[in-house]
Chains A and B, each alone.
Chain A
Amino acid sequence: MFERIKPLVFGIGLVAQLLAPAQSFARTLDEILSGGTLKVGVETDLAPLGSYNDKNEVVGFDIDIANKLASMLGVKTEFVPLKGPDRLPFLASGKIDISLGALTRNPTRAKVVDFTVPLHTESLSVLTLEGKPFKTWQDLNSESVTLVQVRGSTPVDFIKEHLPKAQVLLLSSNADVVRSMAQGRGDAVIEALDFFNDLRAANKANWRVLEDPIEVDYDAIGVAKGNSSLKDWLNVALYSLHSGGFVNETWEKWFKGPMTVKIVANPYF
């Protein structure tokens, strides 16, 4: 009997080993400086923050910000493409030094990673279609409404709490969400619509955005829990980039418009 279950026992042992409290691989500021590269997690399916251009290079707001930070440090950037749900695990396991990709600051996430001062805001709004009857976001709290969202993203929590009656279809990317809306699979999307300009243009439909945003979130740069040498430097650097206008200029270059709610540069942090 044992001969036959030996591989299973071995497998469980292996898993247990993998799960044992791991040594952290997060690199301090000194280690990044001496290593010569800054490993940056970017979402590549999130234009205009990050996406592949026709030469298959990653470009966007996040990429410009990361390159600027790296040049201030005097190191090179190494971009690690990832999806939303990867950001925290990649930080925790040291696969990346910093995470961009519209990382919304919130207390749950702050238990697992550390955040810098805000980099930009994200205004949560409702995207729907002409002909749908909704006037405010509260109108979406109905069993006959299907919201199409990205699995594992922040708005899903919001919906669970504030629109518990709505049906939710969870897909794997913004592109899938917008395409599904255009194909008629749902009634509305609750998202940071600053990011949807390109996708809306690419998917033909009579789009309509509800006037009042639901809430304003602050997106910061994420670092591994306890990596304060890196976080402290980033805070000082971000103050310079905000007060000098670099963040807003870069935003307008990529989003074709001003940030809906601007960041106020604050020297005291």
Chain B
Amino acid sequence: MNYALHYGQVTPYLPYLLGGALVSLWISALAFAGGLVIGLLGAFGRIYGGPILSRLIYAYYIFFTNTPQLVQIFFLFYGLADFGLLMTPFEAVWLGLTLNAGAYLIEIQKAGFLSTRASELEAAETLGMSRPQQLRFVIIPHIARVLFPPLSNQFIIVIMGSSMGAIFGLEELTGRAVNINGQTFRALEVFSLAGVIYLGVTLLATVGLALVGRLLLRVPMRIA
């Protein structure tokens, strides 16, 4: 009564799975981009926004980092639908991943802001730069270099989180693996294959981000 592995039953679905991996990567990239913007604005607001704005942003941070991401997406997809706001699976999962990543990225980027040396900011002020100009020409380049490694890690975390899309009708890698399992009942084969593809996707993303970091931002990163 041994369970015999039959990868041959699953390999015809490989292109279908890889298509799912593209969806995972795409929604993760969009969510990470959205999260970076939230994080940047949030970090700016936390430091320069005055007591009220700063506390509001902190409340957002606390709320989204201390409730499960799954619950957040449930609220967006099913909860809001009861009030007539029907989001598509992609919209709900994207927004959930974005809001969650944004919360983490506020604190990560705030650390980057604070690591900017006061003398650099004073120099910028002496040159007559406004706050937005300081942000654009002094702080962001600084953050980019200091924070590139933790930001890359956060991107990987977003990719892992995108697997929750399977629960909300998104046809990404995990969802498609579950679909194939439902047709072939080859759970070990399907999910080990999906695992290897995830590994490939994150490896690709890590190398890609390291290249971006090295070539565009001159961050001293090892590529592999």
Seen from chain A, the residues whose Cβ lies within 8 Å of a Cβ on chain B are 15, 19, 21-24, 26, 85, 88-89, 92-93, 108-109, 111-112, 151-153, 156-157, 169-172, 176, 179-180, 183-185, 224-227
Instruction: Evaluate contact between B169 and A109: CB separation under 8 angstroms.
Output: no
The answer to whether A152 and B181 touch (CB under 8 A), given A170-B171, A176-B78, A179-B78, is yes
The 8 Å CB contact of B168, one of A21, A171, A224, is A171
A26, closest chain B residue (CB) = B1
| Cα(A152)–Cα(B166), bound, Å | 11
The answer to whether A227 and B5 touch (CB under 8 A), given A15-B192, A152-B178, A171-B169, is no
Q: Smallest Cβ distance from A187 to chain B, in angstroms?
A: 14
Per-position 1/0 for B1-32, Cβ under 8 A of A: 11111000000000000000000000000000
Cβ–Cβ < 8 Å partners of B3 in chain A = 21-22, 24, 92-93, 225
| Cα(A5)–Cα(B184), bound, Å | 34
Q: Which listed segment binds A: B41-49, B81-89, B114-122, B131-139?
A: B81-89
Instruction: Evaluate contact between A226 and B175: CB separation under 8 angstroms.
Output: no
The 8 Å CB contact of A88, one of B5, B171, B185, is B185
Summed over the interface, the residue pairs from A and B with CB atoms below 8 Å come to a total of 78
Within 8 A of A (CB), among B43-98: 78, 81-82, 86, 89
Cβ–Cβ < 8 Å partners of B2 in chain A = 21-24
Instruction: Evaluate contact between B167 and A85: CB separation under 8 angstroms.
Output: no
The answer to whether A170 and B175 touch (CB under 8 A), given A21-B5, A23-B2, A26-B1, is yes
Instruction: Evaluate contact between B1 and A227: CB separation under 8 angstroms.
Output: yes
Instruction: Evaluate contact between A108 and B175: CB separation under 8 angstroms.
Output: no
Tally of B interface residues using CB under 8 Å:
28
Cβ–Cβ < 8 Å partners of A112 in chain B = 185-186
Instruction: Evaluate contact between A156 and B1: CB separation under 8 angstroms.
Output: no
Cβ–Cβ < 8 Å partners of A180 in chain B = 78, 81
Instruction: Evaluate contact between A109 and B185: CB separation under 8 angstroms.
Output: yes
Cβ–Cβ < 8 Å partners of B192 in chain A = 15, 19
Cβ–Cβ < 8 Å partners of B187 in chain A = 85, 88-89, 92
Per-position 1/0 for B157-198, Cβ under 8 A of A: 000000000111101000100110111111110001001000
| Cα(A93)–Cα(B176), bound, Å | 23
Instruction: Evaluate contact between B169 and A170: CB separation under 8 angstroms.
Output: yes
Cβ–Cβ < 8 Å partners of A22 in chain B = 2-3
Q: Smallest Cβ distance from A176 to chain B, in angstroms?
A: 7
Instruction: Evaluate contact between B169 and A169: CB separation under 8 angstroms.
Output: yes
| Cα(A7)–Cα(B183), bound, Å | 34
Cβ–Cβ < 8 Å partners of A21 in chain B = 2-5
Known: A15-B192, A88-B187, A183-B86. 5 other contacts (CB 8 A): A15-B195, A151-B182, A156-B183, A170-B171, A180-B78
